[in-house]
Amino acid sequence: MHQVPDNGQPLDDSTHTISWVSYILHLIVAVSAMIPGAQVGPVLLVVALLIDGVKKGDATGWERTHFGYRIRTVVWAAVLYLVTFPLWFFFVFPGWLAWVAISIWFLYRIVLGMVRLNGQRPVTD
């Protein structure tokens, strides 16, 4: 069934559902990053990233922006985690603060994307 959002483009239900599944996987990763000892993230993150990479070509219009947005969010988070990783060896507390800040930023981006997807709107950086 195709719904027509305010922007006049038909909604592809399969792509829309896949986008929701990916966002939920990313949300689980983001929340688990905030809970000590609940690191289920790496495997789910790879699954979500693979889904986004494979299905991005199937999406059109505003829905396509969500796939690229999630991919960019993961890549930037990975870069930020890698850059701040040495802080853990020299200054544990600043390393912890940096990783908490990155995790909050990641969670914010995922929730923002979910809100926009729910409103059938594109996401921009």
Q: Which residue in this structure is represented by tokens 């999630």?
A: 70
Return the structure tokens found at 23.
């966002």
Where are the alpha helices (H) located in the chain, listed in sequence order? 13-34, 41-55, 61-84, 87-90, 92-118
Can you give the pLDDT at residue 56?
A: 94
Can you give the pLDDT at residue 3?
A: 46
Sign of CA dihedral 83, 88, 45, 125: negative
- The reported pTM is 0.83
Can you give the pLDDT at residue 10?
A: 55
Q: Where are the domains of the chain?
A: 13-118
Can you give the pLDDT at residue 112?
A: 97
pLDDT tens across the length of the chain (125 residues): 444 454 455 566 889 999 999 999 999 988 887 776 666 777 898 999 999 999 999 999 999 999 999 999 999 999 998 999 888 787 778 888 898 899 999 999 999 999 999 999 999 87
